[in-house]
Structure 1
Amino acid sequence: MSGTGTKRSGLWAVRLLAAAGAVLIIFSAAVACISGTAFEKAFYREEYRKMDTAAYVGVTDSVLGQATDTLLDYLQGNAASLDLAMENGEEYYSQREKDHMVDVKALYQGAVRFMTAGFCAGGVLLAGCFLWKRKNALKPVLQSWFWAAAGVLAFFACIGIWAAVDFNSFWVSFHHVFFTNDLWLLDPASSRMIRMFQEEFFAAMVARILVWFLAIVIGSAAAAGIVYQRMKKHGRYQHTCN
Protein backbone atom coordinates (compact mmCIF):
# COMPACT_ATOMS: atom_id res chain seq x y z
CA MET A 1 0.00 0.00 0.00
CA SER A 2 1.31 3.46 -0.91
CA GLY A 3 2.12 6.10 1.70
CA THR A 4 -0.94 8.13 0.70
CA GLY A 5 -3.20 5.08 0.97
CA THR A 6 -1.77 4.21 4.37
CA LYS A 7 -2.33 7.77 5.59
CA ARG A 8 -5.93 7.78 4.36
CA SER A 9 -6.70 4.41 5.95
CA GLY A 10 -5.17 5.69 9.18
CA LEU A 11 -7.40 8.79 9.12
CA TRP A 12 -10.47 6.64 8.50
CA ALA A 13 -9.49 4.51 11.49
CA VAL A 14 -9.24 7.70 13.56
CA ARG A 15 -12.70 8.75 12.35
CA LEU A 16 -14.19 5.42 13.41
CA LEU A 17 -12.52 5.49 16.81
CA ALA A 18 -13.56 9.10 17.34
CA ALA A 19 -17.15 8.36 16.29
CA ALA A 20 -17.32 5.45 18.73
CA GLY A 21 -15.89 7.62 21.49
CA ALA A 22 -18.30 10.44 20.70
CA VAL A 23 -21.34 8.14 20.72
CA LEU A 24 -20.30 6.66 24.08
CA ILE A 25 -19.82 10.10 25.61
CA ILE A 26 -23.06 11.50 24.19
CA PHE A 27 -25.15 8.55 25.41
CA SER A 28 -23.43 8.83 28.79
CA ALA A 29 -24.40 12.49 28.82
CA ALA A 30 -28.01 11.41 28.21
CA VAL A 31 -27.87 9.23 31.33
CA ALA A 32 -26.38 12.15 33.26
CA CYS A 33 -29.28 14.36 32.16
CA ILE A 34 -31.78 11.70 33.23
CA SER A 35 -30.10 11.26 36.60
CA GLY A 36 -29.81 14.99 37.19
CA THR A 37 -33.49 15.57 36.49
CA ALA A 38 -34.80 12.45 38.21
CA PHE A 39 -33.17 13.39 41.51
CA GLU A 40 -33.84 17.12 41.44
CA LYS A 41 -36.20 17.49 44.40
CA ALA A 42 -37.16 21.05 43.46
CA PHE A 43 -38.62 19.66 40.23
CA TYR A 44 -40.83 17.28 42.19
CA ARG A 45 -42.06 20.02 44.50
CA GLU A 46 -42.93 22.27 41.57
CA GLU A 47 -44.79 19.55 39.67
CA TYR A 48 -46.61 18.44 42.82
CA ARG A 49 -47.71 22.01 43.39
CA LYS A 50 -48.94 22.50 39.83
CA MET A 51 -50.88 19.23 39.81
CA ASP A 52 -52.04 19.41 43.45
CA THR A 53 -50.60 15.92 43.86
CA ALA A 54 -50.93 15.69 47.66
CA ALA A 55 -54.70 16.12 47.45
CA TYR A 56 -54.96 13.59 44.61
CA VAL A 57 -52.89 11.03 46.53
CA GLY A 58 -54.89 11.73 49.70
CA VAL A 59 -52.01 12.71 51.98
CA THR A 60 -50.50 15.90 53.34
CA ASP A 61 -47.69 17.76 51.60
CA SER A 62 -45.37 16.69 54.40
CA VAL A 63 -46.13 12.97 53.96
CA LEU A 64 -45.83 13.29 50.18
CA GLY A 65 -42.42 14.93 50.55
CA GLN A 66 -41.26 12.24 52.96
CA ALA A 67 -42.46 9.49 50.60
CA THR A 68 -40.62 11.12 47.69
CA ASP A 69 -37.40 11.50 49.68
CA THR A 70 -37.59 7.86 50.75
CA LEU A 71 -38.09 6.74 47.15
CA LEU A 72 -35.21 8.79 45.76
CA ASP A 73 -32.89 7.76 48.58
CA TYR A 74 -33.74 4.11 47.95
CA LEU A 75 -33.01 4.37 44.21
CA GLN A 76 -29.64 6.00 44.94
CA GLY A 77 -28.74 3.33 47.48
CA ASN A 78 -29.03 5.67 50.46
CA ALA A 79 -31.97 3.79 52.01
CA ALA A 80 -32.18 0.06 52.57
CA SER A 81 -35.87 -0.23 51.75
CA LEU A 82 -39.05 1.65 50.88
CA ASP A 83 -40.59 0.92 54.26
CA LEU A 84 -42.46 4.04 55.37
CA ALA A 85 -45.22 3.90 57.94
CA MET A 86 -47.80 6.67 58.06
CA GLU A 87 -49.35 8.04 61.24
CA ASN A 88 -52.11 5.42 61.17
CA GLY A 89 -49.51 2.65 60.94
CA GLU A 90 -50.30 1.80 57.32
CA GLU A 91 -47.38 1.30 54.95
CA TYR A 92 -47.22 4.08 52.39
CA TYR A 93 -45.93 1.86 49.57
CA SER A 94 -47.59 -1.44 48.71
CA GLN A 95 -45.62 -4.65 48.26
CA ARG A 96 -46.19 -4.55 44.48
CA GLU A 97 -44.79 -1.02 44.34
CA LYS A 98 -41.76 -2.08 46.38
CA ASP A 99 -41.16 -5.05 44.08
CA HIS A 100 -41.35 -2.81 41.02
CA MET A 101 -38.87 -0.37 42.56
CA VAL A 102 -36.39 -3.24 42.97
CA ASP A 103 -36.38 -3.49 39.16
CA VAL A 104 -36.21 0.30 38.74
CA LYS A 105 -33.27 0.51 41.13
CA ALA A 106 -31.41 -2.22 39.23
CA LEU A 107 -32.10 -0.41 35.95
CA TYR A 108 -30.89 2.92 37.35
CA GLN A 109 -27.73 1.46 38.85
CA GLY A 110 -26.99 -0.30 35.56
CA ALA A 111 -27.43 3.00 33.73
CA VAL A 112 -25.02 4.71 36.13
CA ARG A 113 -22.42 1.99 35.53
CA PHE A 114 -22.88 2.44 31.77
CA MET A 115 -22.52 6.22 32.16
CA THR A 116 -19.27 5.88 34.09
CA ALA A 117 -17.84 3.31 31.70
CA GLY A 118 -19.05 5.30 28.69
CA PHE A 119 -17.38 8.53 29.77
CA CYS A 120 -14.15 6.67 30.56
CA ALA A 121 -14.08 4.54 27.39
CA GLY A 122 -15.12 7.45 25.18
CA GLY A 123 -12.43 9.65 26.68
CA VAL A 124 -9.82 6.94 26.17
CA LEU A 125 -10.83 6.49 22.51
CA LEU A 126 -10.63 10.22 21.79
CA ALA A 127 -7.33 10.55 23.66
CA GLY A 128 -6.03 7.55 21.71
CA CYS A 129 -6.82 9.33 18.44
CA PHE A 130 -4.64 12.27 19.41
CA LEU A 131 -1.85 10.07 20.75
CA TRP A 132 -1.88 8.09 17.50
CA LYS A 133 -2.11 10.88 14.94
CA ARG A 134 -1.25 13.87 17.12
CA LYS A 135 -2.05 17.12 15.26
CA ASN A 136 -3.49 15.25 12.30
CA ALA A 137 -6.23 13.84 14.54
CA LEU A 138 -8.04 17.12 15.19
CA LYS A 139 -9.84 17.36 11.83
CA PRO A 140 -11.19 13.77 11.73
CA VAL A 141 -12.11 13.94 15.41
CA LEU A 142 -14.10 17.15 14.86
CA GLN A 143 -15.82 15.65 11.82
CA SER A 144 -16.65 12.44 13.68
CA TRP A 145 -17.97 14.31 16.70
CA PHE A 146 -20.20 16.49 14.51
CA TRP A 147 -21.72 13.58 12.60
CA ALA A 148 -22.02 11.35 15.67
CA ALA A 149 -23.81 14.16 17.50
CA ALA A 150 -26.07 14.73 14.50
CA GLY A 151 -26.92 11.02 14.33
CA VAL A 152 -27.70 10.75 18.04
CA LEU A 153 -29.65 14.00 17.84
CA ALA A 154 -31.80 12.59 15.04
CA PHE A 155 -32.40 9.43 17.08
CA PHE A 156 -33.53 11.32 20.18
CA ALA A 157 -35.50 13.81 18.09
CA CYS A 158 -37.57 10.88 16.79
CA ILE A 159 -38.13 9.70 20.36
CA GLY A 160 -39.09 13.24 21.39
CA ILE A 161 -41.61 13.52 18.55
CA TRP A 162 -43.05 10.13 19.45
CA ALA A 163 -43.42 11.14 23.11
CA ALA A 164 -44.99 14.47 22.16
CA VAL A 165 -47.50 12.90 19.76
CA ASP A 166 -48.49 9.88 21.87
CA PHE A 167 -46.84 9.86 25.28
CA ASN A 168 -48.85 6.89 26.54
CA SER A 169 -47.64 4.70 23.66
CA PHE A 170 -44.05 5.85 24.24
CA TRP A 171 -44.27 5.20 27.99
CA VAL A 172 -45.80 1.73 27.62
CA SER A 173 -43.19 0.75 25.01
CA PHE A 174 -40.41 2.01 27.30
CA HIS A 175 -41.58 -0.32 30.07
CA HIS A 176 -41.90 -3.28 27.72
CA VAL A 177 -38.31 -2.75 26.58
CA PHE A 178 -36.70 -2.33 30.01
CA PHE A 179 -38.82 -4.58 32.25
CA THR A 180 -39.49 -8.30 31.97
CA ASN A 181 -42.59 -8.37 34.19
CA ASP A 182 -45.84 -6.45 34.63
CA LEU A 183 -45.15 -5.02 38.09
CA TRP A 184 -45.16 -1.55 36.53
CA LEU A 185 -48.87 -1.91 35.80
CA LEU A 186 -50.30 -0.21 38.88
CA ASP A 187 -53.94 0.65 39.58
CA PRO A 188 -54.52 4.34 40.38
CA ALA A 189 -57.39 3.33 42.63
CA SER A 190 -55.07 1.48 45.02
CA SER A 191 -51.57 2.72 44.22
CA ARG A 192 -50.30 5.89 45.83
CA MET A 193 -47.19 5.72 43.68
CA ILE A 194 -49.09 5.86 40.40
CA ARG A 195 -51.09 8.81 41.71
CA MET A 196 -47.85 10.55 42.71
CA PHE A 197 -46.43 10.19 39.23
CA GLN A 198 -49.20 10.77 36.74
CA GLU A 199 -48.67 10.80 32.98
CA GLU A 200 -48.40 14.61 33.05
CA PHE A 201 -45.58 14.36 35.59
CA PHE A 202 -43.52 11.99 33.47
CA ALA A 203 -44.25 14.00 30.32
CA ALA A 204 -42.83 17.08 32.06
CA MET A 205 -39.80 15.10 33.22
CA VAL A 206 -39.09 13.67 29.75
CA ALA A 207 -39.43 17.14 28.23
CA ARG A 208 -36.99 18.58 30.77
CA ILE A 209 -34.47 15.80 30.11
CA LEU A 210 -34.72 16.31 26.35
CA VAL A 211 -34.19 20.07 26.67
CA TRP A 212 -30.98 19.61 28.68
CA PHE A 213 -29.73 16.79 26.49
CA LEU A 214 -30.48 18.52 23.20
CA ALA A 215 -28.73 21.65 24.47
CA ILE A 216 -25.60 19.59 25.17
CA VAL A 217 -25.67 17.71 21.86
CA ILE A 218 -26.50 20.72 19.68
CA GLY A 219 -23.97 22.86 21.52
CA SER A 220 -21.18 20.31 21.13
CA ALA A 221 -22.00 19.68 17.46
CA ALA A 222 -22.07 23.42 16.76
CA ALA A 223 -18.74 23.89 18.55
CA ALA A 224 -17.15 21.07 16.54
CA GLY A 225 -18.50 22.52 13.30
CA ILE A 226 -17.32 26.06 14.10
CA VAL A 227 -13.80 24.95 15.03
CA TYR A 228 -13.58 22.80 11.90
CA GLN A 229 -14.69 25.68 9.66
CA ARG A 230 -12.19 28.04 11.25
CA MET A 231 -9.42 25.50 10.71
CA LYS A 232 -10.46 25.22 7.07
CA LYS A 233 -10.63 28.99 6.64
CA HIS A 234 -7.16 29.54 8.10
CA GLY A 235 -5.52 26.78 6.12
CA ARG A 236 -5.21 24.17 8.89
CA TYR A 237 -7.43 21.84 6.85
CA GLN A 238 -4.88 21.55 4.07
CA HIS A 239 -2.02 21.32 6.53
CA THR A 240 -3.46 18.41 8.46
CA CYS A 241 -4.43 16.47 5.35
CA ASN A 242 -1.12 16.71 3.59
Structure 2
Amino acid sequence: MIKKQIPLRIILSVLALLFALFYVGFQLARLATDTGVMQDMFIKHSEVQLEDSQYNSIAKGITKYLKGESEKVDFEGEESLSLSEKETLHLEDVRKLVDTGLGLIWYMGGIGFFFLLLFIINKIKLFKISTETVEFAFVVGFGIFLILIAATALFVYLDFDTAFTKFHELLFDNDRWLLSPEKDLLIQLMPTSFFSGYIALFAKRHLPLILCLLMACFAFIFQKKEVKNAE
Protein backbone atom coordinates (compact mmCIF):
# COMPACT_ATOMS: atom_id res chain seq x y z
CA MET A 1 0.00 0.00 0.00
CA ILE A 2 2.73 2.46 1.01
CA LYS A 3 4.85 1.83 -2.10
CA LYS A 4 1.79 2.18 -4.33
CA GLN A 5 0.99 5.58 -2.82
CA ILE A 6 4.50 7.08 -3.10
CA PRO A 7 3.60 9.06 -6.29
CA LEU A 8 0.43 10.31 -4.59
CA ARG A 9 2.42 11.34 -1.53
CA ILE A 10 4.80 13.36 -3.69
CA ILE A 11 1.93 15.02 -5.59
CA LEU A 12 0.05 15.93 -2.41
CA SER A 13 3.24 17.25 -0.76
CA VAL A 14 3.96 19.50 -3.75
CA LEU A 15 0.36 20.73 -3.82
CA ALA A 16 0.43 21.48 -0.08
CA LEU A 17 3.64 23.48 -0.55
CA LEU A 18 2.24 25.37 -3.55
CA PHE A 19 -1.00 26.14 -1.69
CA ALA A 20 0.98 27.66 1.19
CA LEU A 21 3.21 29.70 -1.15
CA PHE A 22 0.20 30.91 -3.16
CA TYR A 23 -1.52 31.89 0.09
CA VAL A 24 1.44 34.07 1.08
CA GLY A 25 1.55 35.71 -2.36
CA PHE A 26 -2.19 36.39 -2.30
CA GLN A 27 -2.13 37.85 1.21
CA LEU A 28 0.84 40.10 0.37
CA ALA A 29 -1.04 41.41 -2.68
CA ARG A 30 -4.12 42.07 -0.55
CA LEU A 31 -2.02 43.92 2.00
CA ALA A 32 -0.45 46.06 -0.73
CA THR A 33 -3.92 47.19 -1.86
CA ASP A 34 -5.25 48.05 1.61
CA THR A 35 -5.70 51.84 1.65
CA GLY A 36 -5.93 52.11 5.44
CA VAL A 37 -2.73 50.13 5.99
CA MET A 38 -0.84 52.14 3.39
CA GLN A 39 -1.96 55.42 4.93
CA ASP A 40 -0.84 54.27 8.39
CA MET A 41 2.54 53.25 6.96
CA PHE A 42 2.93 56.67 5.33
CA ILE A 43 2.20 58.41 8.63
CA LYS A 44 4.72 56.24 10.50
CA HIS A 45 7.54 56.00 7.96
CA SER A 46 7.30 58.74 5.32
CA GLU A 47 10.36 60.99 5.06
CA VAL A 48 8.28 63.80 3.58
CA GLN A 49 5.97 65.51 6.06
CA LEU A 50 2.40 65.89 4.82
CA GLU A 51 -1.07 66.24 6.30
CA ASP A 52 -2.96 63.03 7.11
CA SER A 53 -5.53 63.97 4.45
CA GLN A 54 -2.74 64.13 1.87
CA TYR A 55 -1.44 60.72 2.91
CA ASN A 56 -4.99 59.44 2.53
CA SER A 57 -5.31 60.85 -1.00
CA ILE A 58 -1.98 59.33 -2.02
CA ALA A 59 -2.84 55.95 -0.48
CA LYS A 60 -6.22 55.93 -2.24
CA GLY A 61 -4.65 56.87 -5.56
CA ILE A 62 -1.97 54.18 -5.38
CA THR A 63 -4.18 51.34 -4.08
CA LYS A 64 -6.95 52.08 -6.59
CA TYR A 65 -4.36 51.90 -9.36
CA LEU A 66 -2.81 48.69 -8.04
CA LYS A 67 -6.25 47.05 -7.81
CA GLY A 68 -7.03 48.02 -11.40
CA GLU A 69 -9.81 50.41 -10.40
CA SER A 70 -8.01 53.29 -12.12
CA GLU A 71 -5.87 53.45 -15.25
CA LYS A 72 -3.59 56.12 -13.82
CA VAL A 73 -2.26 57.15 -10.43
CA ASP A 74 -4.42 60.09 -9.40
CA PHE A 75 -4.01 61.91 -6.08
CA GLU A 76 -7.45 63.53 -5.95
CA GLY A 77 -7.33 67.14 -4.76
CA GLU A 78 -3.54 67.11 -4.43
CA GLU A 79 -2.37 68.80 -7.64
CA SER A 80 0.93 69.79 -6.02
CA LEU A 81 1.89 66.12 -5.60
CA SER A 82 2.85 64.11 -8.64
CA LEU A 83 5.03 61.20 -9.71
CA SER A 84 7.78 61.21 -12.31
CA GLU A 85 7.58 59.04 -15.41
CA LYS A 86 10.03 56.54 -13.88
CA GLU A 87 7.96 56.31 -10.69
CA THR A 88 4.78 55.75 -12.70
CA LEU A 89 6.46 53.04 -14.77
CA HIS A 90 7.65 51.33 -11.58
CA LEU A 91 4.12 51.35 -10.17
CA GLU A 92 3.00 49.79 -13.45
CA ASP A 93 5.45 46.93 -12.79
CA VAL A 94 4.18 46.65 -9.21
CA ARG A 95 0.60 46.54 -10.49
CA LYS A 96 1.47 43.51 -12.64
CA LEU A 97 2.88 41.77 -9.55
CA VAL A 98 -0.24 42.61 -7.55
CA ASP A 99 -2.46 41.30 -10.36
CA THR A 100 -0.49 38.06 -10.31
CA GLY A 101 -0.70 37.86 -6.52
CA LEU A 102 -4.45 38.44 -6.40
CA GLY A 103 -4.92 35.92 -9.20
CA LEU A 104 -3.29 33.21 -7.09
CA ILE A 105 -6.60 32.71 -5.29
CA TRP A 106 -7.84 30.81 -8.37
CA TYR A 107 -4.91 28.40 -8.15
CA MET A 108 -5.58 27.99 -4.43
CA GLY A 109 -9.20 27.23 -5.25
CA GLY A 110 -8.11 24.66 -7.82
CA ILE A 111 -5.84 22.91 -5.33
CA GLY A 112 -8.57 23.02 -2.70
CA PHE A 113 -11.05 21.51 -5.15
CA PHE A 114 -8.57 18.73 -5.96
CA PHE A 115 -8.17 17.95 -2.25
CA LEU A 116 -11.96 17.91 -1.86
CA LEU A 117 -12.27 15.58 -4.84
CA LEU A 118 -9.73 13.19 -3.31
CA PHE A 119 -11.63 13.31 -0.02
CA ILE A 120 -14.89 12.37 -1.79
CA ILE A 121 -13.18 9.60 -3.78
CA ASN A 122 -11.72 8.21 -0.57
CA LYS A 123 -15.04 8.55 1.26
CA ILE A 124 -17.01 6.59 -1.33
CA LYS A 125 -14.13 4.09 -1.51
CA LEU A 126 -13.34 4.48 -5.21
CA PHE A 127 -9.69 4.72 -4.20
CA LYS A 128 -8.20 4.19 -0.75
CA ILE A 129 -5.95 6.99 0.49
CA SER A 130 -4.16 5.97 3.65
CA THR A 131 -3.96 8.22 6.70
CA GLU A 132 -0.16 7.91 6.53
CA THR A 133 -0.20 9.38 3.01
CA VAL A 134 -2.20 12.41 4.14
CA GLU A 135 0.04 12.96 7.17
CA PHE A 136 3.18 12.57 5.06
CA ALA A 137 1.96 15.15 2.52
CA PHE A 138 1.02 17.57 5.30
CA VAL A 139 4.34 17.28 7.13
CA VAL A 140 6.54 17.40 4.02
CA GLY A 141 4.61 20.09 2.13
CA PHE A 142 4.03 22.47 5.00
CA GLY A 143 7.35 21.51 6.62
CA ILE A 144 9.28 22.71 3.57
CA PHE A 145 7.13 25.85 3.54
CA LEU A 146 7.95 26.58 7.19
CA ILE A 147 11.66 26.07 6.53
CA LEU A 148 11.49 28.53 3.61
CA ILE A 149 9.62 31.05 5.76
CA ALA A 150 12.14 30.69 8.60
CA ALA A 151 15.12 31.07 6.24
CA THR A 152 13.58 34.14 4.59
CA ALA A 153 12.72 35.71 7.95
CA LEU A 154 16.27 35.14 9.20
CA PHE A 155 17.75 36.67 6.03
CA VAL A 156 15.49 39.73 6.33
CA TYR A 157 16.23 40.11 10.05
CA LEU A 158 20.01 39.85 9.67
CA ASP A 159 20.37 42.13 6.63
CA PHE A 160 17.17 43.85 5.57
CA ASP A 161 18.82 46.18 3.05
CA THR A 162 20.46 43.30 1.16
CA ALA A 163 17.23 41.28 1.29
CA PHE A 164 15.30 44.31 0.02
CA THR A 165 17.68 44.66 -2.94
CA LYS A 166 17.73 40.94 -3.76
CA PHE A 167 13.94 40.67 -3.74
CA HIS A 168 13.64 43.64 -6.09
CA GLU A 169 16.24 42.17 -8.44
CA LEU A 170 14.31 38.89 -8.39
CA LEU A 171 10.87 40.41 -8.94
CA PHE A 172 11.73 43.10 -11.51
CA ASP A 173 13.64 42.72 -14.77
CA ASN A 174 14.50 46.42 -15.03
CA ASP A 175 16.01 49.20 -12.89
CA ARG A 176 12.87 51.33 -12.53
CA TRP A 177 12.76 50.50 -8.83
CA LEU A 178 16.09 52.33 -8.33
CA LEU A 179 14.56 55.67 -7.37
CA SER A 180 16.27 58.75 -5.95
CA PRO A 181 15.53 59.60 -2.28
CA GLU A 182 16.43 63.22 -3.06
CA LYS A 183 13.90 63.86 -5.83
CA ASP A 184 11.42 60.98 -6.15
CA LEU A 185 8.25 61.26 -4.05
CA LEU A 186 7.57 57.53 -4.11
CA ILE A 187 10.78 56.54 -2.32
CA GLN A 188 10.38 59.45 0.10
CA LEU A 189 6.96 58.11 1.01
CA MET A 190 8.23 54.52 1.05
CA PRO A 191 11.73 54.27 2.55
CA THR A 192 13.04 50.86 3.60
CA SER A 193 11.39 51.25 7.04
CA PHE A 194 8.03 51.44 5.22
CA PHE A 195 8.57 47.96 3.78
CA SER A 196 9.95 46.53 7.01
CA GLY A 197 6.78 47.84 8.66
CA TYR A 198 4.67 45.96 6.12
CA ILE A 199 6.64 42.77 6.75
CA ALA A 200 6.25 43.16 10.52
CA LEU A 201 2.49 43.64 10.12
CA PHE A 202 2.21 40.61 7.83
CA ALA A 203 4.18 38.49 10.30
CA LYS A 204 2.06 39.68 13.23
CA ARG A 205 -1.18 38.82 11.43
CA HIS A 206 -0.05 35.37 10.33
CA LEU A 207 2.14 34.24 13.22
CA PRO A 208 -0.73 32.30 14.88
CA LEU A 209 -1.35 30.40 11.63
CA ILE A 210 2.37 29.62 11.26
CA LEU A 211 2.52 28.33 14.84
CA CYS A 212 -0.55 26.15 14.26
CA LEU A 213 1.06 24.61 11.18
CA LEU A 214 4.28 24.02 13.10
CA MET A 215 2.48 22.35 16.01
CA ALA A 216 0.43 20.20 13.62
CA CYS A 217 3.60 19.02 11.85
CA PHE A 218 5.23 18.09 15.16
CA ALA A 219 2.03 16.39 16.33
CA PHE A 220 1.95 14.15 13.24
CA ILE A 221 5.66 13.34 13.57
CA PHE A 222 5.54 12.44 17.26
CA GLN A 223 2.26 10.57 16.89
CA LYS A 224 3.84 8.40 14.21
CA LYS A 225 6.85 7.71 16.45
CA GLU A 226 4.59 6.70 19.33
CA VAL A 227 2.67 4.29 17.09
CA LYS A 228 5.92 2.70 15.89
CA ASN A 229 7.19 2.34 19.46
CA ALA A 230 3.90 0.76 20.51
CA GLU A 231 4.23 -1.80 17.74
2:82 alignment partner AA: Y
Q: Is 1:196–2:189 an aligned residue pair? A: yes
What is the Cα deviation at residue 141 of structure 1? 1.2
Relative to structure 1, is the Cα distance of residues 78 and 106 closer, same or farther in structure 2, using a 3 angstrom cutoff?
A: same
Counterpart pick for 1:179 among 147, 172, 179 = 172
Counterpart of 1:61?
Answer: 52
Structure 1 vs Structure 2 CA RMSD: 2.9
What is the Cα deviation at residue 184 of structure 1? 0.6
Contact 2:48 2:189 in 1 (8 A): yes
Q: TM-score, normalized by length of structure 2?
A: 0.83
Q: Is 1:71–2:79 an aligned residue pair? A: no
**1:136 and 1:86 mapped to 2: Cα distance?**
60
Counterpart of 2:11?
Answer: 17
Relative to structure 1, is the Cα distance of residues 90 and 49 closer, same or farther in structure 2, using a 3 angstrom cutoff?
A: closer
Contact 2:87 2:186 in 1 (8 A): yes
Counterpart of 1:101?
Answer: 91
Q: Is 1:150–2:146 an aligned residue pair? A: no
2:6 alignment partner AA: W
Give ranges in structure 1 of 5+ residues lacking alignment. Answer: 1-6
The within-5 A match list for 1:17-166 is: 17-51=11-45, 53=46, 56-84=47-75, 89-117=79-107, 119-130=108-119, 131=121, 136-166=129-159
**2:166 and 2:201 mapped to 1: Cα distance?**
20
What is the Cα deviation at residue 168 of structure 1? 0.9
Relative to structure 1, is the Cα distance of residues 212 and 57 closer, same or farther in structure 2, using a 3 angstrom cutoff?
A: same
Structure 2 counterpart SS, 1:81:
coil
More helix by share: 1
What is the Cα deviation at residue 36 of structure 1? 3.6
Relative to structure 1, is the Cα distance of residues 71 and 95 closer, same or farther in structure 2, using a 3 angstrom cutoff?
A: same
What is the Cα deviation at residue 128 of structure 1? 4.7
Q: Is 1:216–2:205 an aligned residue pair? A: no
What is the Cα deviation at residue 224 of structure 1? 5.3
Contact 1:93 1:193 in 2 (8 A): yes
Relative to structure 1, is the Cα distance of residues 221 and 229 closer, same or farther in structure 2, using a 3 angstrom cutoff?
A: same
Deviates more, 1:18-27 or 1:58-67: 58-67
What is the Cα deviation at residue 109 of structure 1? 0.7
2:195 alignment partner AA: F
Q: TM-score, normalized by length of structure 1?
A: 0.80
Relative to structure 1, is the Cα distance of residues 135 and 207 closer, same or farther in structure 2, using a 3 angstrom cutoff?
A: farther
**1:213 and 1:85 mapped to 2: Cα distance?**
33
Contact 1:73 1:79 in 2 (8 A): yes
What is the Cα deviation at residue 147 of structure 1? 2.0
Q: Deviations over 1:163-183 (max 9, x none)?
A: 111111111111111111111
Contact 1:187 1:194 in 2 (8 A): yes
Relative to structure 1, is the Cα distance of residues 190 and 86 closer, same or farther in structure 2, using a 3 angstrom cutoff?
A: farther
